[in-house]
Structure 1
Amino acid sequence: MPSTSGRSRFIFFCLAPAVVLFVVFLFIPSIDVFRMSLYKWGGYTDTKTFVGLNNFSKLFQSEKFYQVFQNSILLIVVVTIITFALALLFAALLSRGKLKGTNGYRVVFYIPNILSVVVISAIFSAIYDPSNGLLNSILQLFRVIDEPVLWLGDQKIVIYSLAGAMIWQAVGYYMVMYMASMANIPESLYESANLEGASPAHQFFTITIPLIWTNIRTTLTFFIISTINMSFLFVTAMTSGGPDGATEVFLSYMYKEAYTNSSYGYGMAIGVVVFLFSFALAGILNAVTKRDHLEY
C-alpha cells in the first residue's frame, strides 16, 4: 500500500506542472476567446458591450468572410494533396529505388523545413519577381510565356503561388517520416510480389500504402490543421492578404479585424468559427480515413 501511494504521488508531481501550464496557457485563454466573442470591444479600452451572437450573425452575412473561407479551403486542398503525393512518391523512390546517397537526399529535402517562414517567403518572393525572378526567366527562356507573369500580383494565380511555397516547405519533412515507416516493411513482402509479377506501382498501392496507412492518417490530420496556421504566416510574409483580399485566410482575417480594425470581439468570433471548423475537420478526417489495422 505505501509503495502504491508513493508511486501515485510521484506521478501526480510529474504531471502537475504540465497540467497547470495547459490550463493557464491553453484552456483558460480558449474559454476566454468564446466569452469575448459575445462582446463588442475594441481590445484596448475598458468599455465592453454584450451583444450575444451578433458578432456571429455579422460574420455569416459578410461576403469577405466567404471569400476568406474559399481561400482557406483552396489552400488546404491543393497544398495537402500535392504535398502528400510528392512526399509519398519521393519516399518510395528513395526507399525502394536503390539510389545511392539516400541520406544526402534526405538532408537536402529536409532543409526547407528547418528554414523560417520569413526566409522561405523571401526566397519565393525573389523567384516570383516579375522583372528578374527565376521562374519568369526560365519560362521565357523556353518560350512558355511571352510577357512576365505577376505571380504575386494576379488575383487568379496568387493563391497557387502561395501554395507552391507552402508545398516546398513541407514535402521534405513528411517524406522523411514516410521513409522511416517504409523501412519497417519486411523485404519478403516485396520479394513475394516480384515473384508474382507485380509491378512497382502495383506494389506501392497494395503493399506500401496499406502498411503505412496509420502513419499517413495521423500526419494527414496534423498537416491539414497545421496548414491553417502556416497559411497565416506565409500570407503575412508574402502578400499581406493581397491583392484585393485574394490571399486572405482565416487567421490573417481574424488578426486584422481584432488588432488592426479594433474589432476584438468580432475577431474572437472568427477565432471561434476557425476552432470549430478545425475540430469538425479533424473528426471528419478521422472517420473517413479509418481502416482496419494491418499487421505484418
Structure 2
Amino acid sequence: MRKGQYRFVAGFLLAPLALYLIFVIWPYVQTIGYSFTDWQGQSQTFGFVGLDNYKALFQDDVFLQAIWHNILFLVFIPVITILLALFFAFMVNAGGRGGAGGVQGVAGSRFYKIVYFFPQVLSLAILAVLFGAVYRSDGGGLLNGLLIKLHLVDGNSPVEWMNEPNLVLWCLMAVVVWHGVGFYLVLFSAAMQSIPRDIYEAALLDGASRSHTFFRVTLPLLWDTVQTAWVYLGIIAMDMFVLVSTMTQGTGYGGGPDHHSEVMANVMMRNFLYFGKSGYACAMGVVMLLLTLVLSVVTLRATRRERIEF
C-alpha cells in the first residue's frame, strides 16, 4: 500500500475512531473512576474511597440476589429461545414432505415466518403493557380468565402472577422468549437456506429420520450461528431492566415482590437515581461489565468447534 493510501484510509478512520473514544470508551473510563469515590450524583465534589464500594457490593444481599436472578436468566432464556427457534426454523425450512422440488418446509411456512417474527417489531415497553394485561391478578387477565373458564382456578382467588415469588421470574422469562423466538427463527432460517438441499436429500435417502437429520446435519452446520445467538441472548439476560422496572412492583424500578425479581440493572439504577448512591451504582456497573465480558468469552470458548465446510 502506497503512502498516500495510508493517509486516505487513516483519514476515513480518524473521525469514527474519535467518536468511538469520546462516546463509548470515555464513559466507561469515567464510570470506573467514579466507582472508587463516594459521588452522590448531584454534587460536583466527591472523595476517594478506594475499594469500599466493591467491598460493600459483596455484603449487599439485594445485589447478590440480583446476580443469582441474572444467572437464572442467563441459563434458561438462551436455552429455551434457541431450542424453540431451531425447531421452528427447521420445520419451516425442511420439516415438510419431500416433493418434486426436493426437501421443503411445512405448508404455509412463509406465513409462519411472518407470524413468529411479529413480536420482534414491538418494543419491550409495549410488551410490558401487553403482558401486564395477560398477567393481571384478577379475572380480567387473559391467563386468569382462561384458567377460570377451564375451572382450573377459583374465580374468587385467581393467580397473582407477578406477585408470586415462585412465578415472577418465569413470567418475565416467558415475555423475553416470546419476543425473541421470531428473530432467531429468521436468523436460523437464513443460515439453513444456505445449506445445500442435496445434503438433506442424501440423508433422507440413507434412511435418516427427521430428528437424526436435525441433530446430525442441521445443528452442526448452524453451530456458528447458534454460538452468536447464544452470546446476544446472554447479553439480554444480563440486562432485563425494562421488563423488571415496568412489570414488577417495588421501591424504585420494581424488583418485587420482596426482591424476588431483582436484577443487577434495576438495583444499579435504584441506587443511582433513587438513593443517590452514584459512586456505589458505578461500582455495580463495572461488575456488570466485567461479568458480561467474562461470560461472553467463556461462552465463545466453551461452544467453539471446528468449522464444518459444505
Q: What is the aligned partner in structure 2 of residue 34 from structure 1?
A: 32
Q: Does the CA-based 8 Å contact 2:77-2:233 persist in structure 1?
A: no
Q: Which residue of 2 aligns with 1:62?
A: 60
Q: 1:108 aligns with which of 100, 115, 131?
A: 115
SS in 2 for 1:18: helix
Please name the residue that 2:169 is paired with: 159
1:273-284 map, 5 Å = 273-284=287-298
Maintained 8 Å contact 2:67/2:264: yes
Identity of aligned residues (%): 34
Q: Which residue of 2 aligns with 1:250?
A: 264
1:242-266 per-position Cα deviation (integer Å, ceiling 9, x unaligned): 1121111011111111111100010
Structure-1 separation of matches of 2:229 and 2:13? 26
Aligned to 1:134: 142
Q: After TM superposition, list the pairs within 5 Å mapping 1:67-146 onto structure 2.
A: 67-97=65-95, 98-131=105-138, 132-146=140-154
Note the C-alpha offset of 1:75. 1.6
Contact residue 53 and residue 280 of structure 2 kept, 8 A: yes
How many residues of Structure 1 are paired with residues of Structure 2 in the alignment? 293
Q: How far 1:226 moved relative to its partner? A: 2.7
CA–CA distance in structure 2, aligned partners of residues 129 and 71 of structure 1: 23
After the TM superposition, which parts of structure 1 deviate over 4 Å for at least 4 consecutive aligned residues? none
Give the Cα separation in 2 of the matches to 1:117 and 1:55. 32
TM-score, normalization by structure 2: 0.91
1:108 is displaced (CA, Å) by 1.6
Partner residue in 2 for 1:236: 245
Distance 1:81 1:51 in 2: 41
| Match in the other structure for 2:50 | 52
Match of 2:220 among 210, 233, 247: 210
Between the aligned partners of 2:169 and 2:119, the Cα distance in structure 1 is: 20
After TM superposition, give the deviation of residue 141 of structure 1 in Å: 2.3
Question: Quick one: distance in 2 between partners of 1:124 and 1:53?
Answer: 41
Name the CA distance, whole Å, in 1 between partners of 2:148 and 2:119: 27
Question: Which runs of 5 or more residues in structure 2 are unaligned?
Answer: 96-104, 249-253
Structure 1 gap segments, 5+ residues each: none
Q: CA deviation at 1:233?
A: 1.1
2:48 and 2:204 mapped to 1: Cα distance?
69
Letter in 2 for 1:238: M
Q: What's 1:193 paired with?
A: 203
Instruction: Measure, in 2, the Cα distance between the counterparts of 1:66 and 1:33.
Output: 21
**Which deviates further from its counterpart, 156-165 or 105-114?**
105-114
Q: Normalized per residue, which structure has more helix?
A: 1
Give the Å deviation of 1:163: 0.8
Is the 8 Å Cα contact of residues 40 and 278 (structure 2) preserved in structure 1? yes
TM superposition score normalised by structure 1:
0.96
> Which string of whole-angstrom CA distances, capped at 9 and with x for unpartnered residues, describes residues 82-115 of structure 1?
1111111110111112223322222221121111
RMSD: 1.3
